[in-house]
Amino acid sequence: MAKPYPQVYLGDRLVPAEAAHVSVASSAVLYGLSVYTVFPVFVAGSARTVFRLEDHFRRMVESCKIIGMDRFDQEWDYDRFRAATVELVAANELTEDVFVRATVHVVESIPGTRVRGCDIQVSMFIYPATPIVPQHGMRLKSSPWRRIPDNAIPSRAKVNGAYVNSVLAKQDAIDSGYDDCVFLDGNGHVCELSAANIFLVRGGTLITPDVSCDILDGINRRTILTLAAEDGIPVRERTVDLTELYIADEVFVTGTSAGCAPVTEVDGRTVADGKPGPLGQALRKRHADALRTDTVHGWVTQL
């Protein structure tokens, strides 16, 4: 397992990683009552840049609002979040591109199963930016575990406890010799992977499940939709059947930790000719460039 970089942000200051603790009696530990995000920091010489930081912060605010963690919005704004990121990155000697995992923990001790008004604490730590799925052709398995629906634990809120659902599905896929899962909803429609969004291409049209299909509203998903529209590629956000993946011309996935990466097999069926497709590969390149050097959309922030 990778180790976090030595300096961690916790509460309102930097602490050594070994001292960055949350209590065993906190709701974060007892119920998985935390929300989080992961964003990339790129290293180029002495420059440090981050991709869509404000969007990550806004999604954390929205996740807290959905769950009822009201203290985050009261205590934190984007300027404070950005300043904490700057402090964290400056305190660690980066020699490679990294991910930052930022979490809002409910740290109230033994409050019972409630959330409003409970104390929160923010943590941020850095770790190497190793992709969580193969980058040149991954194999997916549809999961026997269904995606948690919006009226149970909403996927659009990035709640730590909900990731037990992802762990079950990803472990099942790995145990079966695949790289990751395809989550389906209760009606058998495609949602997403364990920690990435999914796209397919049919007849030149880019298709992805819409945001009311029990998915995380991924920031890289939004990025691909924007880039594709700008390139004149027809885009549709709609319900997707599992069997559409079997007969797609291309399938690829997106996510901070997944990148924009091709799928070459779903449930033992080869996607098209088994090679990464041209549209997905073109968008992969556009995405990789945008992450580091976008100047058009205001997505890149210097730290």
Residues that bind ligand PMP in the complex, under the rule CB under 6 A = 38, 192, 195-197, 216, 218-221, 254-256
Residue least distant from ligand PMP (Cβ): 218
Distance of closest approach, residue 133 Cβ to ligand PMP, in angstroms: 11
Residues 126 and 4 sit within 8 Å (Cβ to Cβ): yes
Nearer to ligand PMP, 11 or 131 (CB): 131
Distance of closest approach, residue 86 Cβ to ligand PMP, in angstroms: 21
Distance of closest approach, residue 19 Cβ to ligand PMP, in angstroms: 27
Q: What is the 3-state secondary structure (H, E, C) of the chain?
A: CCCCCCEEEECCEEEEHHHCCCCCCEHHHHHCCEEEEEEEEEEECCEEEEECHHHHHHHHHHHHHHHCCHHHHHHCCHHHHHHHHHHHHHHCCCCCCEEEEEEEEECCECCCCCCCCCCEEEEEEEEECCCCCCCCCEEEEEEEEECCCCCCCCCCCCEHHHHHHHHHHHHHHHHCCCCEEEEECCCCEECCCCCCEEEEEECCEEEECCCCCCCCCCHHHHHHHHHHHHCCCCEEECCCEHHHHHCCCEEEEEECCCEEEEEEEECCEECCCCCCCHHHHHHHHHHHHHHHHCCCCCCEEEC
Nearer to ligand PMP, 123 or 197 (CB): 197
Q: Residues 251, 254, 260, 261: is their CA dihedral positive or negative?
A: negative
For residue 87, the tally of other CB atoms under 10 A from its CB is 15
Distance of closest approach, residue 207 Cβ to ligand PMP, in angstroms: 16
Nearer to ligand PMP, 118 or 141 (CB): 141
Nearer to ligand PMP, 120 or 219 (CB): 219
Nearer to ligand PMP, 39 or 72 (CB): 39
Nearer to ligand PMP, 90 or 229 (CB): 229
Distance of closest approach, residue 52 Cβ to ligand PMP, in angstroms: 8
Distance of closest approach, residue 221 Cβ to ligand PMP, in angstroms: 6
Nearer to ligand PMP, 37 or 92 (CB): 37
Nearer to ligand PMP, 219 or 263 (CB): 219
Distance of closest approach, residue 273 Cβ to ligand PMP, in angstroms: 27
Distance of closest approach, residue 258 Cβ to ligand PMP, in angstroms: 7
Contacts of 232 (CB under 8 A, 6+ apart): none
CA 65, 216, 118 angle in degrees (round to 5)? Answer: 25
